[in-house]
Structure 1
Amino acid sequence: MSNNDSRILLLWLEGPLQAWGHNSKFGVRDTLNFPTRSGVLGLLCCARGAGGPEVEWLAQMATQTMEVRAYARADKLGVPVLREAPLRDFHMVGSGYDDSDPWQSLLIPKTADGKKAVGGGAKMTYRYYLQDSVFAVALQVPAAQAEVLTDALKNPVWDLYLGRKNCVPTELIFQGNFDNAEAAWQRASALAGNKQRVLSYSVLDGETDEGEVITLNDVPVQFGPDKRYRDRRVTLVEHSHG
């Protein structure tokens, strides 16, 4: 996963709630069971204070590998406990505002021509969240960017969150800058052990015969108002215990 021209950043994603949407439609905001590539790169953009299209930077990052490992809570025998079901939040957007007040009016959803959206500007949405989840992400980055990204994660320009702004991390996200993936995973394993967590499943780049192959549309080509993505294939590998 690493060579002389790259480094491995270890990110630790832990919090009461996480949301990694990849196929959200209109009023339904879903979440995958693991962090998306677009979500992780978006997190790095927040750390860097980069809010534009970022086309050139994303093109550089598109060739870098990313592996995710999920860690579950363990019982006294070290066996993973059953994962919490996703939380569904019923959410109203734009309701209860006085459109005669110019400031409140800004919070009411509008159509492209500035009129109130269908339903008087109020929208009903359902938002899904992972509960009590922990992920370690080993992200390959170009060596020339490793120190810049390390500094950004240690001193982020904007707040860092786990997919959505209400998903606050409860552990430091940046956990090290390593020569290779093996060293990064040793650090992740030690951290998981301290938290009484055990490896539950992994998400590998590309297709292998080790598990279930999934197609995701989560490789960002352009951020900003006109977001664009392309597909990638990943392999989901379940890990058994005992």
Structure 2
Amino acid sequence: MSVLLLQLAGPLQAWGSSARFARRTTEPAPTKSGVIGLLAAALGRDRSHDPVDLAALRFGVRVDQRGVPIRDYQTAHHFETGKSMPVSERFYLADAVFVAALEGPDDLIDELHQAVRRPTYLPYLGRRSCPPSRPLDLGIREDGDIEQALKREDWRASRWHQRRHREPTVRLETIIEATADDGPVDSIRDQPLSFDPTHRRYALRGIRHGYVEVPNPAAPQPSDHDPIAVLGGE
């Protein structure tokens, strides 16, 4: 088993798990269905392809830069009649950065890694209007599980965000796939069963919230300057 790490950073992101009709919400962190959809597109699969192999991967995410929720309104008209359609209310995360991790068989993880590096279809962060601003590829980790990979990975927040923190380490939230055997878990309906536009289906999935401490590369470094050295010794 190995772990594929992805960097999800962009001006806007949108990860819906319960969006319906004219109100399109976003979760505060990437969903498994959204990231699996991104990987399926990178592989060149169409929406009717059965996602069972990708859905079996264990999924986790680390919140490196939480971002700011914003709301947008969109209007549209029917092409043929010119009649106005209902106003669409859409929510996004602005300036967010996440590290996503997928754990699974070595051969499948390697195939996904190659697809991320040379995608068939361009990736987007939840919606087509949300392109990534950085390379997705953070490589494969073969010396541990998702928990260890997210704990060891460098802090990927923007430099300006890192400079806001003076401490040598920062505490980052993790959201990792779990079962009842792992203890108390929450649930989210983002386990993909079908991406077919005529019959999209998602199941509940267990998740566990936690935290990891990682170094802050922008923290002020201790100085060896001695202001009284010029006074000399006895």
TM-score range, shorter chain: 0.7 to 0.9
SS at match of 1:157: coil
SS at match of 2:87: strand
2:47 touches 2:195 (CA, 8 Å); kept in 1? Answer: yes
Identity %: 32
Tell me what 1:203 maps to: 175
Q: Which one of the candidate residues 80, 100, 111 is aligned to 1:137?
A: 100
SS at match of 1:87: strand
Tell me what 2:193 maps to: 221
Q: Say yes or no: does 1:165 pair with 2:137.
A: no
CA distance in 1: counterparts of 2:207 and 2:128, whole angstroms: 26
1:84 touches 1:131 (CA, 8 Å); kept in 2? Answer: yes
Q: What is the CA distance between 1:132 and its match in structure 2?
A: 1.0
Taking a change above 3 Å as real, the CA distance of residues 239 and 191 of structure 1, as seen in their structure-2 partners, is closer
- Opposite residue 50 of structure 1, the aligned amino acid is R
* Higher gyration radius (CA): 2
Tell me what 1:230 maps to: 203
CA distance in 2: counterparts of 1:236 and 1:183, whole angstroms: 15
- Using the size of structure 1 for normalisation, the TM-score is 0.73
CA distance in 2: counterparts of 1:195 and 1:140, whole angstroms: 31
Tell me what 1:50 maps to: 45
2:10 touches 2:133 (CA, 8 Å); kept in 1? Answer: yes
CA distance in 2: counterparts of 1:168 and 1:156, whole angstroms: 13
Structure possessing the higher relative contact order (Cα contacts under 8 Å, 6 or more residues apart): 1
Deviations 1:29-68 (Å, cap 9, x if unpaired)? 000000000001000011111113222xx22233321111
CA distance in 2: counterparts of 1:130 and 1:160, whole angstroms: 17
Tell me what 1:60 maps to: 53
2:151 touches 2:213 (CA, 8 Å); kept in 1? Answer: no
Structure 1 gap segments, 5+ residues each: 1-5, 73-82, 100-104, 109-119
CA distance in 1: counterparts of 2:114 and 2:67, whole angstroms: 34
- Using the size of structure 2 for normalisation, the TM-score is 0.76
How many positions carry a matched residue from both structures?
204
RMSD of equivalent CA atoms: 2.9
- Opposite residue 42 of structure 2, the aligned amino acid is A
Structure 2 gap segments, 5+ residues each: 163-169, 215-234
Tell me what 1:113 maps to: none
Q: Which one of the candidate residues 9, 17, 23 is aligned to 1:22?
A: 17
